A = this chain, B = another copy of it.
Amino acid sequence: MINVSLIGSTGYAGIELVRLLIAHPEVNIAHLVSHSHAGEPISHVYPNLKGICEKICTSLDIDAITADSDVVFTSLPHGASDDIVQVLHERGIKVIDLSGDFRYTDISTYEKWYGRTHNSPHLSNMAVYGLPELYRDDIKNASIVANPGCYTTCSILPLAPLVAHNLIDTKSIIIDAKSGATGAGKTPSQPLHFCELDENMRAYKIATHRHTSEIEEKLSLIADKDITLSFTPHILPIKRGIFCTIYANLNDKYNADFIYDIYNKFYADEPFIYIYNNEETLPELKFVNGSNHCHIGFVIDKRLNRIIIVSVLDNLIKGAGGQAIQNMNIMFEIKETTGLDGPAWYL
């Protein structure tokens, strides 16, 4: 059994991770740290756990965590992760961090887009970007994994093969992203008030969202040239799911079969990636919500010689806690799909 602790257990990403870990056959939950609910049973905060997990949330106690944990998941706001990960790392604990703090190869990009000075750039440099489909071998031996977020995973996975094979004009990439409201977190606010979002949708942080820089950096590393792109996040009146509609001009007149082969070879044997061929319907949120899967479909617009891609995943699973468990499975050399093999709910 892998002994795991969570820091930041009662936010939406945290509690989804708890839910998935409860069902993981090789995991023992050691500590559930929650600043805001220390002393309360987790099942009091989330009554879906009544009779299932009655563990008491605790305050942060590094000694206790160190003593009992093989790995710690940190699900904290950026900035807050920075220092705690450093402490845990010094104690020799493996960390899977769900914040943006350790995701960047170039610290200056991080500091520019996040507007803060990083306290442990040496650790950021040694952290591995936890996208298993691209960095599985590095993840195996990582001591710090920087778990990518929902928007970035749903953007990088469909674009990586095209960029790697130099099939698209990298100046023309536009990612129109739509997210369920869980992506905005648990804290009540006017824009997330039920009556303000229901039957509505909105765009936000156009041209300035931090994940733009993360997507750009990872794709640039793959392409071996600087890529800048448009990333427009929207919030939908639903709970779960990321839906990306991605546009790029093709470098040549590729047909759909050719692109389909590229994708299938790039993601051959990947258990969580499914590529739609040309004759199928396009991916929808209900095909992935509740699962760790990412579905990718596309259309070639021959008139404009442009590819339009639709990619979908569950922001709380493949875009957060599920991917974190996938990384843990790799790090602890158990079957990568353990605890993650259920299909999406559809209903």
* Interface residues of A, Cβ cutoff 8 Å to B: 12, 15-16, 19, 22-23, 46-53, 172, 174, 176, 178, 181-182, 186, 188-190, 192-204, 206-207, 228-230, 232, 234, 236-241, 243, 245, 247, 271, 274, 280-291, 293, 295, 299-301, 303-304, 306, 308, 310, 316, 341-347
Interface of A, helix, strand, loop or mixed by DSSP: loop
10 A-B pairs with C-beta separation under 8 A: A19-B342, A47-B281, A48-B345, A192-B195, A201-B285, A206-B310, A207-B303, A230-B247, A230-B301, A232-B308
Cβ A286 vs Cβ B207 within 8 A: no
Shortest beta-carbon contacts, A-B, top 3: A48-B344, A207-B301, A188-B188
Which of B19, B236, B288, B290 is the one whose CB lies under 8 Å from A343? B19
Extra inter-chain contacts (15) besides given A48-B288, A201-B238, A237-B237, CB under 8 Å: A19-B345, A23-B343, A47-B280, A192-B195, A194-B198, A195-B239, A199-B199, A199-B286, A201-B236, A201-B285, A203-B245, A206-B282, A207-B303, A230-B301, A237-B238
Say how far A327's CB is from chain B's closest CB, in angstroms. Answer: 20
Cβ A228 vs Cβ B48 within 8 A: no
Complex copy number for this chain: 4
Q: Which residues of B contact A342 (CB under 8 A)?
A: 19, 22-23
A282 vs B204: C-alpha distance in the bound complex, in angstroms?
Answer: 8
Q: Which residue of B lies closest to A176 (CB)?
A: B176
Which of B172, B236, B243, B295 is the one whose CB lies under 8 Å from A50? B295
Say how far A174's CB is from chain B's closest CB, in angstroms. Answer: 5
A262 vs B301: C-alpha distance in the bound complex, in angstroms?
Answer: 32
A51 vs B292: C-alpha distance in the bound complex, in angstroms?
Answer: 12
Cβ B274 vs Cβ A51 within 8 A: yes
Q: Which residues of B contact A186 (CB under 8 A)?
A: 190, 193, 195
Say how far A55's CB is from chain B's closest CB, in angstroms. Answer: 12
Q: Which residues of B contact A345 (CB under 8 A)?
A: 19, 48, 290, 345
Say how far A257's CB is from chain B's closest CB, in angstroms. Answer: 17
Cβ A48 vs Cβ B287 within 8 A: yes
Which of B190, B230, B289, B310 is the one whose CB lies under 8 Å from A203? B310
Say how far A332's CB is from chain B's closest CB, in angstroms. Answer: 21
Say how far A279's CB is from chain B's closest CB, in angstroms. Answer: 11
